[in-house]
Structure 1
Amino acid sequence: MATGCVVPEVVYREIPGTIGGTVSGLVGGGLVLTANGAEDLSISGDGAFAFLTPMQRGESYVVMVKRQPSGPAQICSIEHGSGTAGERVVTDIKVRCSVSAFEVGGTVTGLAGRGLVLHSGAGERVSVDADGAFTFPTP
């Protein structure tokens, strides 16, 4: 090495990565995800998301739904929501939401006669000829 040359010292350090993914099917409001129970993230619509807290290589993570969306009520499920942070940013967490379906029905008692027709707010009709349970066809 020639005299008078300065050789820089190279220091390697791990750069922490983040964890995230995509949300699809979200039409309601109020969805909250949590990472390792330590960081909450409010989600307002479809698209990409990422938690702010960096993850060190080798650190385990678990992403869960802390609060399901409402207005309309939805159920969101998570794929690839747990793992170990590697040398890269985690972007493969999938959150898929769908509208909850409810059956609408009831019980008729004290019916004297025939020809009772019940109407749902969605325009469906159910004919009832005797006491008993009924359910509209579309949940």
Structure 2
Amino acid sequence: MIRLSKLAIFLVIAMGAFFSSCSTEDPHIVCGREWNPALQLVADTTSEFELINPMIVQFRYGTGFDFPTIKIAFYEGTAANKGKEIWKYETKVNEKVSVYTLQGHSKRGGLMTAAEMTRHHAPGQIVIEATTGDRLLAVKEITLIKNKQ
């Protein structure tokens, strides 16, 4: 009886460890128009932006960064057919942080527009990559479209 209860406890602990390891989110890039300052998170609202839409880019790693630097780069094209690099930003990070956000203020006030953030002022496909050293961490494809107004 004691042996059976020890086995049951062991199984519960093993299952708990297994499921808790599955709850860690995979590294990914989130793009959106809405910023929640209280949570310091952007809502992944869409992958399609009008050129005048506000745009925030956020890289989420799931656990503390286990690398010293992160580079976020913007390219023309798609992930399968990546074109020339438009621009990149590289910065130091540490293990106390698991999220990195790119946002800025527009020249007209408010958040940067999609055209300003991507530095691409015509409709088209854009690829955003997060890397560290030679390791690719995450990729996000977005589409810039003409303003509907």
Q: Which has the higher contact order (CA 8 A, sep 6+)?
A: 2
Q: What range is the shorter-chain TM-score in? A: 0.3 to 0.5
The structure whose residues are more often helix, as a share, is 2
Q: Which has the higher strand share?
A: 1
TM-score if structure 2 supplies the norm length?
Answer: 0.32
Q: Which has the larger radius of gyration?
A: 1
